[in-house]
Chains A and B, each alone.
Chain A
């Protein structure tokens, strides 16, 4: 099956639809934030659903780090067909996941071209991660940043209750 292509195309359509829809309503500045949160919200719901199915047969996790390792490995392989390249943490609830060849960005460019457009294509994935972690009992804020195309960093900050 080649459904990863399907997912990539669907994701592109989704992003373009949401941004077009908002742009037609005017008020560009405010809208950028709503677009991101709409996409993020969709990702959140899907992440919740996916993690239930991924962890069906896996043993329970020891601690937060164990959960993050699962996200970096199994979750990422299932969703984006590769592992996270680098995981860093300050041991105080902040994790940085670095993917040097992020699947949803690789078709764009491998330099600075389209760098301004790229963040649109990360909101959904941030939501996926947040949804997954949320169903594993971790409330987080997930953000992403890109410095050079196709390589991006996801920052996960666990919210203390």
Chain B
């Protein structure tokens, strides 16, 4: 009886495992293809970007979040709504720069690295670099140019996983020539 009910509630989690394992297979494949960690990082970021520009539409449609007034609100939405919705975690937002244009997301657990250990010869591989691309791509679609990178990563022996986000500029909407 208990087993049966377990199985149904676990189905969401199982699907997350599919994502985690698929991501693992992808990173493995990229490592094989490029044999160079920097290049793998770049590819992951690029793929993340492509995902982000499409994911933002899904996100806006599902969450009914409106336009953000400032970068602080953006940070809140990312951490409390977006991360929760797609990865089931709520990172904390800390380390604001005095100018309010930079902050850190602290991830207590990172679902992408659930079954992962990095071998020694991949010291410069940023395993979850896809996330940076996703964030950058998604924010670009709401007229925000942002620099995203991993500052710390538990996979590489740090105590926490930290994603550093820096606001660069607001992207002006390009009106077609001759259009007011």
Assess whether B55 is interfacial by the CB under 8 Å rule: yes
| Interface size class of chain A, counting residues whose CB lies under 8 Å from the partner chain | 20 to 34
Contact partner, B17, options A6, A16, A38, A50, Cβ 8 Å: A50
Residues of B within 8 A of A5 (CB): 55, 58, 86
- Take A1-B86, A2-B86, A38-B29 as given contacts and tell me if A13 and B50 are in contact as well, using a CB distance cutoff of 8 Å: yes
In the complex, what residues of A have CB within 8 A of residue B115's CB? 49
Residues of B within 8 A of A81 (CB): 15
Tell me if B3 is interfacial: C-beta within 8 Å of chain A: yes
A29 interface contact, C-beta 8 A? no
B69 CB-CB contact with A under 8 Å: no
**Known interface pairs A13-B47, A14-B26, A54-B14. Does A3 touch B6 (Cβ–Cβ under 8 Å)?**
no
Q: Are B18 and A2 in contact (CB under 8 A)?
A: no
Among B11, B19, B33, B58, contact of A10 (Cβ-Cβ < 8 Å): B19
User: Residue A79 contacts which of B15, B55, B130 (CB distance < 8 angstroms)?
Assistant: B15
Q: Residue-by-residue, is B12-52 near A (CB-CB < 8 Å gives 1, otherwise 0)?
A: 10111111011111101100010000000001000100110
Encode A66-110 as 1/0 by CB contact (under 8 A) with B: 000000001001110100000000000000000000000000000
Specify which of A3, A21, A57 is in contact with B33 (CB 8 Å cutoff). Answer: A21
CB distance from A71 to the nearest CB of B (A): 14
- A45 close to B19 (CB less than 8 A): no
12 contacts between A and B (CB under 8 A): A1-B16, A7-B15, A10-B23, A14-B47, A16-B50, A42-B26, A46-B25, A49-B115, A50-B14, A78-B14, A78-B15, A79-B14
